[in-house]
Amino acid sequence: MNRHALVCRNILEHPQITQRELALAMDVSLGTANRLIRECIEQNLITAADDGHYQTAPEGMTLLEHYRVDGAVIIAAGFGSRFVPLTFETPKGLLEVFGERMIERQIRQLHETGITDITIVVGYLKEKFEYLTDKFGVKLLYNKEYSAKNTLATLYHARKAFQGRNMYLLSSDNWMRENMYHAYECGSWYSSVYQEQETSEWCLSFNKKGKIQRVEIGGRGSWVMYGPVFLEREWSQHFFPVLEAYYSLPGTEQFYWEHVYLELLNGEAARRLEDAGITSIQGIPVSRLSAEIPQLDLYVNRQASNQVYEFENLEELRLFDPRYQNHSDNAAMELVSQVFRVPESEIRNITCLKSGMTNKSFLFSVSGSRYICRIPGPGTELLIDRRQEAAVYEAVRPLGITEHVLYFNRNNGYKISEYYENARNCDASVPSDMEPCMELLRQVHQARLTVEHRFDIRERILFYESLCLKYGEIPFEDYAKVKGWMTELMDSLDRMGRPQTLCHIDSVADNFLFLTDGGLRLIDWEYSGMCDPLIDVAMCCIYSYYDEAQTDWLIETYLGRIPDSEERAVVYSYVALGGFLWTLWAVYKSRLGEEFGEYTLIMYRYAKRYYRKLHEKET
């Protein structure tokens, strides 16, 4: 930290500043401020005016030029799970505080300081940020790994913005009461606030000059990393090559970028890099990284307790901005308020339960009881008829085996249901779990329930295929051949004239709940319809990633006997067709911006492998 430059900057920004005010602004003693002023006058960096005030001299302006801030990078890629359901619709950084969006407040504060070169790293709901390019002239940088990796990867993708430049590094969801940005910054720093109570934040130890010497995760009675960061060009020049090395290391996917700094500071970086076979970075042996890079000095920038805010959850935001207590302008919160006839302030303990393949849902409590609100995901309205889903719940209700549904909207699919405390999902790897689940499926099928709609797998495959083709070709080289195989299987099933009854279709192990009172529930009937009951066995197999031996065991468990050749062939056919169907479903969903990793490949392999198994058995 160049204290002489800091004196010049403070005098430039506040020509009437007194020595006492300077000491306060620089977080030093009055004696130190007096000494620094004398040294600056001796070096012709500042001049003393007749009225007792000071001016930054031309030499001081020349010194400051090296410290001019070039721009800012704002991280805005994450989901913000602790702010559901608000973040189902709006990225956290675009939430308003006192009528102003958090990210817009920061951009305006930067502009007030003359900083207009701003890059926003986006990911989740990236399109929501596009308007900022017109409104403020910012640049957007897409981080395609936002859903799978943490801020280490975010900073890796934004690394070019820091090359040879003095840059602020900000989070879109921070709120600063006063503008704490400057045209000139005289050393790399991390904003910090004091935490008296026990905290999980990153706690700092630093010397008398404010240089950080140690970082520990968690503690009490400590200054903690909290809010904006400023990185000098020299700091970034030496830090980012280490961060790039970390990015490629297995096990760092969930690292914050600060993990790299922490391990450099405590000496762990050398061990991690050497274990990965990396012996040097920029010609420096990794064993001497910490000692050989004094340019990685980072200083604490202590802030008042009411200056910087990082809202941890919706409850904290409610306490800060009373508007969120009863008027969040969020459809799900308004719905819950209406259903339970309570103000939004009484909807508490909100947590993200799932942001999954088809739906998003959150857990909440009202009057001491907990419930689940389901929100259909994007594009789901094309895949699921919610009126048909409602009809299924009506048909199954006499069996008493579903979740307790308190509210169901037949138009948009919003659903509120009771939460079963301490219930657990079925474990597909445990036979004693799967046996009662198959018994429950058999009970459903033997009830011979009927609804007016069918689950027609041929129609679904053709429909999903048409959705995919609207966005381009289906990305499998042998797709035409495999589709021909699936058509052959469907034709064969049609010729069999198999029995039809109400089937669950989505019989994944996670949809079976074991209750604490010994009960068992089968939930989430949105894909259900009339079909061959053996399709439920097949779907359970592929959702559980079963191999052939496990599939054969599950067929026997469901039937309670050895299957005949037709029954086994039917299940194998539905395994293949189910794999093909969900492949197309996942391809379509990926075109909407959702990604499911290897799921698509696994499903496609089921289609091909079980078609071949059927032909092996025939021969």
Long-range contacts of 31-34 (CB under 8 A, 24+ apart): none
Q: How far apart are CA 293 and CA 182, in angstroms?
A: 26
Strand segments (E) across 155-262: 167-171, 174-176, 189-195, 199-206, 212-219, 222-231
Nearest to 212 by CA among 297, 303, 290, 293: 297
Nearest to 452 by CA among 499, 404, 389: 389
pLDDT in tens, 212-245: 999 999 999 999 999 999 999 999 999 999 999 9
One-letter amino acid of 575: V
Whether residue 397 contacts residue 390, with contact meaning beta carbons closer than 8 Å, is answered with: no
CA distance to 95, 469, 472, 487, 615, per residue, from 481 (Å): 49, 17, 18, 10, 15
196 Cβ contact list (under 8 Å, min separation 6): 220, 221
Sign of CA dihedral 396, 401, 406, 411: negative
The end-to-end CA distance of the chain, in Å, is 79
Q: How far apart are CA 584 and CA 581, in angstroms?
A: 5
Whether residue 230 contacts residue 189, with contact meaning beta carbons closer than 8 Å, is answered with: yes
DSSP 135-168: HH--EEEE-TTTTTS-HHHHHHHTGGGGTTS-EE
Task: Please tell me the predicted confidence (pLDDT) of residue 471.
Answer: 85
Sign of CA dihedral 538, 540, 542, 544: negative
Residue spans of the chain under pLDDT 50 = 619
Long-range contacts of 488-492 (CB under 8 A, 24+ apart): 489/573, 489/576, 489/577, 489/611, 489/614, 490/457, 490/458, 490/461, 490/577, 492/573
Strand partners, 74: 120, 170
- How crowded is residue 500: how many other Cβ atoms within 10 Å of its Cβ? 15
pTM of the model: 0.81
Whether residue 182 contacts residue 9, with contact meaning beta carbons closer than 8 Å, is answered with: yes
Angle between helices 233-247 and 268-275 (to 10 degrees): 40
Using only C-alpha atoms, what is the Rg of the chain? 30
Whether residue 441 contacts residue 536, with contact meaning beta carbons closer than 8 Å, is answered with: yes
Pairing of strands 118-122, 348-355: unpaired
Neighbour-count burial of 476, counting CB atoms closer than 10 A to its CB (0-12 exposed, 13-18 middle, 19+ buried): middle
Q: Retrieve residue 501's tokens.
A: 């009854």
Task: Please tell me the predicted confidence (pLDDT) of residue 619.
Answer: 47
pLDDT in tens, 21-73: 899 888 888 999 999 999 999 999 999 877 778 899 999 999 999 999 999 99
Q: How far apart are CA 80 and CA 71, in angstroms?
A: 25
User: Which uninterrupted H or E stretch holds 119?
Assistant: strand 118-122
- How crowded is residue 352: how many other Cβ atoms within 10 Å of its Cβ? 18
Task: Please tell me the predicted confidence (pLDDT) of residue 617.
Answer: 59
Q: Report H helices in 52-163.
A: 58-65, 86-89, 102-112, 131-136, 151-157
Q: How far apart are CA 611 and CA 619, in angstroms?
A: 13
258 Cβ contact list (under 8 Å, min separation 6): 151, 202, 215, 225
